[in-house]
Amino acid sequence: HPFKYDIKGFLPRKAAIGRYISMILSGWVFIIGIGILIFAIYLIFITDHRQPMATLIRTLISTLCILLGAFVCSFLLTLSGILIVLMASALTITLPIIFIFSKSVFITKLETYMRVSIRDYDDIPENPITIFWTELQLKYSCCGLDNPISDYRESYFHTLTGEDVPASCCTNGTSCTSSPTITNSFIDQSCLPQAKSFVDSAIQVASIGHIVLGTLLLFILISVGVFFLYMKSAKKALDRYNQFIIKSMVSTFEQYEKEIGVFKNAIPEEINFHNKQQIRGILPITPTVIRVKNPRIMNYFGFD
C-alpha cells in the first residue's frame, strides 16, 4: 500500500538529534563561560587589577545565542552566535601572534617608561607612579633600576624628603631610607628584570588562555555544524517523503479513473501539490481522507 510507510515520527527525532547535540556541546561551554565571567567580575573589584572582559562577554553571548537558537530552531539566533564565535576565533588567532611579535617592542617601551617614571616618584600615596613603584618593590623585593640611589636622588622624592631611597626598598623591620646598604635594603636587586619576567609570564598566560578559548570556540563551531548537517538531512528526507506522497496521490487518482471513470480528462503526470496548497511539513494521509491546513479540502475530489 502506498501510504503504509509513514516516517513522520522518525523525522522529528532525527532533527532533534542535531539540536540536542548542539545544546549539549554549547551548553557546557556556556557554563564554563559563566564561571569565568564571575571570576572576571571578582577581579574587577580588586584594587589595581584590570582584566579585559570583552572576549569573555563575547563568548558568553555567542554560546547563549547558539544554545537558544538550537533549542527553538531559530536560524537568526544561531547565525548571530556563529558570527560572534567567528569574530572571537579571529581574535584568539591574531592576538597571540601580536603578543609574540610585539613582546620585544613592549618590553623596550616598558623599560623607557620605568626610567622616566622613577623621576616622578614623590612618596605621595595618591600618585599612581608612587603606587606603581611601591607595589613593584614590595612584591618583588627589589629597588629602583640599575643604580637605585642615583635614580631616586634625581626624583621628586629626594627633593621633598632628602632621603636616598623609599621605605619600600628596605628589608623587613629595618629603616634604610637615609643610609641604604646591601644588608638592610634591596639596592642590589634591580626591578627591571622582575618587570620583564612579569611581562613574559603575562604573555604566556594570555597565549595559553587564547588557546583554551579557541578550543572551546572550535567545539562550538563543530556542534553548530553537526546541528545544521542533521537539519539539512532531515529537510531532504522530508522533501523526499512529500514527493512520495504526491506521486502516491497521483497514482491513486489514476487508479480511481480506471475503475470508476470519474475523470474525463487525464490527470497530469506531475502535480505541484506542495506549492499550490502552501502546505508545510508532513502530510498525514489516509486512502480516503486528506487532512491538510486548508480546511476547504475534505477529500481527494476537492482539488481545483
User: Would you list the DSSP string of 173-186?
Assistant: T---SSS--TTTB-
Residue 18 CA neighbour count, 13 Å, CB half: 23
| Per-residue model confidence as pLDDT tens digits over 174-205 | 788 888 888 888 888 888 888 888 888 877 87
Residues 78 and 124 in one domain: no
Residues 212 and 253 in one domain: no
Q: Which domain holds residue 142?
A: 114-196
In this prediction, residue 103 carries a pLDDT of: 78
Residues 228 and 100 in one domain: yes
Residues 99 and 214 in one domain: yes
In a domain, 27, yes or no: yes
* DSSP-H helix ranges across the chain: 10-44, 54-72, 75-101, 103-117, 128-140, 148-153, 156-161, 191-260, 273-277
Cell of 32: 564554563
- DSSP-based three-state secondary structure for 153: helix
Residues 140 and 14 in one domain: no
| Per-residue model confidence as pLDDT tens digits over 257-296 | 776 654 445 545 544 444 444 444 444 444 444 444 444 4
Residues 69 and 152 in one domain: no
Looking up residue 169, the CATH number of its domain turns out to be: 1.10.1450.10
In this prediction, residue 294 carries a pLDDT of: 47
Residues 206 and 66 in one domain: yes
In a domain, 3, yes or no: no
Nearest CA to 253 out of 238, 270, 237, 236 is that of: 270
In a domain, 5, yes or no: no
Residues 262 and 217 in one domain: no
Residue 173 has pLDDT above 70, yes or no: no
In a domain, 4, yes or no: no
In this prediction, residue 33 carries a pLDDT of: 62
Residues 90 and 143 in one domain: no
Structural contact between residues 116 and 82, judged by C-beta atoms closer than 8 angstroms: no
Cβ neighbours, 10 Å, residue 95: 16
Q: How large is the C-alpha radius of gyration of the chain?
A: 36
| Per-residue model confidence as pLDDT tens digits over 64-95 | 666 666 666 666 776 777 777 777 777 777 77
Rounded Cα distance, 300 and 267, in Å = 13
Residues 100 and 14 in one domain: yes
Residue 43 has pLDDT above 70, yes or no: no
In a domain, 165, yes or no: yes
In a domain, 166, yes or no: yes
Mean pLDDT, residues 100-115 taken together: 83
Residue 25 has pLDDT above 80, yes or no: no
In this prediction, residue 280 carries a pLDDT of: 43
* Helix pair 191-260, 10-44: axis angle to 10 deg: 160
Rounded Cα distance, 128 and 117, in Å = 10
In a domain, 149, yes or no: yes
Residues 93 and 24 in one domain: yes
Structural contact between residues 246 and 273, judged by C-beta atoms closer than 8 angstroms: yes
pLDDT category at 16 given cuts 50, 70, 90 is low
Name the β-bridge partners of 43.
Answer: none
Rounded Cα distance, 242 and 5, in Å = 12
Nearest CA to 106 out of 207, 198, 234, 237 is that of: 198
Structural domains counted in the chain:
3
Residues 31 and 61 in one domain: yes
Structural contact between residues 96 and 108, judged by C-beta atoms closer than 8 angstroms: no
- 137: burial class by Cβ within 10 Å (0-12, 13-18, 19+)? buried
0.85 cut: is pTM over it?
A: no
Residue 208 CA neighbour count, 13 Å, CB half: 5
Nearest CA to 250 out of 270, 225, 220, 275 is that of: 270
In a domain, 288, yes or no: yes
Name the β-bridge partners of 290.
Answer: 285
